[in-house]
Amino acid sequence: MKKLHLYIISGILILSGCTKFLDIKPKDKFIPVTVADYENMLNSGTVVNFGDYFWDLLSDDAFLPEGEPGNLFTKQQLHGRKIYTFNPAPFEQGANDFMWSEGYKRIFYYNSIINNIIDATEGTDANKKSVRAEALLGRAMEHLQLVNVYAQHYDAATAATQNGIPIALIADINAKFKRNTVKEVYDQVLSDANAAIADLPLNHKLTKFRAGKAGGYALLARTYLFMGDYANARKNADLALSLQSELANMNDYKITIPGPFPNVPGAPLGWTNIPDAQLNPETIVARHFLRPFGLGMDVCASPELSALFTNDDKRWTLYYADGWPPAPPFNYMSRYQVKIFLRGDFYSNYLNVPEMYLTRAECFARENNLTAALADINKLRLNRITPAAYKAFTPADFSNDGEKVLRFVLEERRREMAFTGMRVIDLKRLNKETRFQKIIKHTAEGKTYELLPGSNNYLRQLWPNATVFNPDWPLNP
């Protein structure tokens, strides 16, 4: 076995002897030997993070008001303002694109486990396989996220020829990587996910930041949905829900002011008593953004998103506020008829039960099984809408029209998953269907910007810090 040299940056394990290719900087050598050493990588601070909350600024859910008080546009960092105005190259040389740099750090972290744990000491074969399975799931999730940020959306007709992202399968950043196709990336994601399911434990270990078998099925359900393979997406959503299906009734939660956010002693802000990702019964596998609250206190729901909610929806009253602090002197609802997004709990932006109900409902609707689709939506809404306003929908409420039911399911998906990192992928996949195509408009500094269906501006440019070492990588248009 090739001996690997492992390094840590502020608790983040990475691999290298230089700063090349994927541009991951090493510091402080550490060489894992035992199964416990490798398992502790899955318990590290690196692994609790996923994604990049800035990406949601590209979507039709985001609205950044200007003017004082309450200016949210200039409050954003420069790259956030560029993403909001549909600039496909928001990061200049030297600026850190966290989606890329942190994503590949975690991939190399997972690779060190996948490539080496079977030969580690002081552990059972079963535990070695279980830890390796969790790393396979993590690697698959990272590749799936990255290919959807830096490449065109999966299309069976073109995926084999369109540029995706580099697939990293070895724990050596001095290796030379190529830019693989979209199809190759998806094939690898499916391969990793299926391999993971075989050895994932039935239940979590220690915490929901550790994956169980339901997480493997949830990953497959998401991947197949993105691919437009609705039969396999429904099948795997079924399997995930057969292992974990509990929903939390949001009518049992309330706004708590004042009070610190969970796990942040002395923080001056407080909002709700919704449990964090580790304790929330809806979490299948937990992660959160590098900034734990994501875009909380930094973005308003767009007028279009705001119009999808009613005051009987607990997601609207618990996740959003008229202003922040939720008191005079400034009120976004009064000025713009929108609310500011708060969601102050450490919520999971990874794999969760509501997504599985929504995925299955969409698949049912596309199969014209309207009763089953609405049964899943009704179950979710029963736990989201105030009892006095709750209504169980039937196909007759939509004139038995499959198109209307599907659109209702997609609206519910948008309400439930706003600002969790999913909306841009949904826009990209739905733009593949003429009936769902839309133009997104953002206004900033007196200018209106448009994002057209299928536009190359959906594709974030590869991180300059990495491409400088890889001049042969084809760049996005």
> Is 320 within 8 Å of 337 (Cβ atoms)?
no
CA distances from 148 to 100, 151, 189, 223, 279 (A): 12, 6, 12, 11, 29
Q: Is the dihedral of CA 354, 356, 359, 365 positive or negative?
A: negative
Domain boundaries, the chain: 1-52+97-210, 249-271+298-347+350-419
Instruction: Evaluate whether the domain defined by 1-52+97-210 bears CATH number 3.30.310.50.
Output: no
Q: 């594709």: which residue's tokens?
A: 459
Residue 345 CA to chain centroid, in angstroms?
A: 16
pLDDT in tens, the chain (477 residues): 232 222 223 333 333 334 445 554 444 456 789 999 999 999 988 899 999 999 999 999 999 999 888 899 999 999 999 999 999 999 999 999 999 999 999 999 999 999 999 999 998 999 999 999 999 999 999 999 999 999 999 999 999 999 999 999 998 867 889 999 999 999 999 999 999 999 999 998 889 999 999 999 999 999 999 999 999 999 999 999 999 999 999 999 998 865 445 555 545 455 788 998 999 999 999 999 988 889 998 999 999 999 999 999 999 999 999 987 665 568 999 999 999 998 877 899 999 999 999 999 999 999 999 999 999 999 999 999 999 999 999 999 999 999 999 999 999 999 999 999 999 999 999 999 999 999 999 999 999 999 999 999 999 999 999 999 999 999 999
At residue 18, the pLDDT reads 40
Single-letter amino acid code for the residue at 103: G
Dihedral pair phi/psi, residue 466, rounded to 5°: -90, -40
Residues with Cβ within 8 Å of 171's Cβ and at least 6 positions away in sequence, in order, are 4, 6, 15, 108, 111, 112, 114, 115, 116
Question: What residue spans of 228-352 are helical by DSSP H?
Answer: 230-243, 303-307, 314-319, 332-336
∠ CA 442-448-449, rounded to 5°: 65
**CA nearest to 367, candidates 236, 230, 225, 224:** 230
What is the pTM for the complete model shown? Answer: 0.92
User: How do 351-352 and 283-285 pair as beta strands?
Assistant: antiparallel
∠ CA 53-288-77, rounded to 5°: 25
Using CA atoms, how far apart are residues 92 and 463, in angstroms rounded to an integer?
Answer: 8
Look up residue 290 and give its two tokens. 């590098």
Question: What's the per-residue H, E or C state across 356-392?
Answer: HHHHHHHHHHHCCCHHHHHHHHHHHHHCCECCCCCCC
Residue 50 CA to chain centroid, in angstroms?
A: 7
3-state secondary structure of 476: coil
Q: 């609705």: which residue's tokens?
A: 230
Radius of gyration of the chain (CA): 22
Look up residue 197 and give its two tokens. 């399911």
Using CA atoms, how far apart are residues 380 and 320, in angstroms rounded to an integer?
Answer: 19
**Could you check whether the bond before residue 329 is cis, i.e. omega within 30 degrees of 0?**
yes
Look up residue 178 and give its two tokens. 């190529």
CA terminus-to-terminus distance, the chain: 41
At residue 10, the pLDDT reads 32
Domains 1-52+97-210 and 249-271+298-347+350-419 belong to one CATH topology:
yes
Using CA atoms, how far apart are residues 166 and 182, in angstroms rounded to an integer?
Answer: 10
Q: What pairs with residue 63 in β-bridges?
A: 300
Using CA atoms, how far apart are residues 166 and 178, in angstroms rounded to an integer?
Answer: 5
Look up residue 344 and give its two tokens. 């102050």
Per-residue DSSP letter, 410? H
At residue 1, the pLDDT reads 28
Q: Which CATH class is domain 249-271+298-347+350-419?
A: mainly alpha
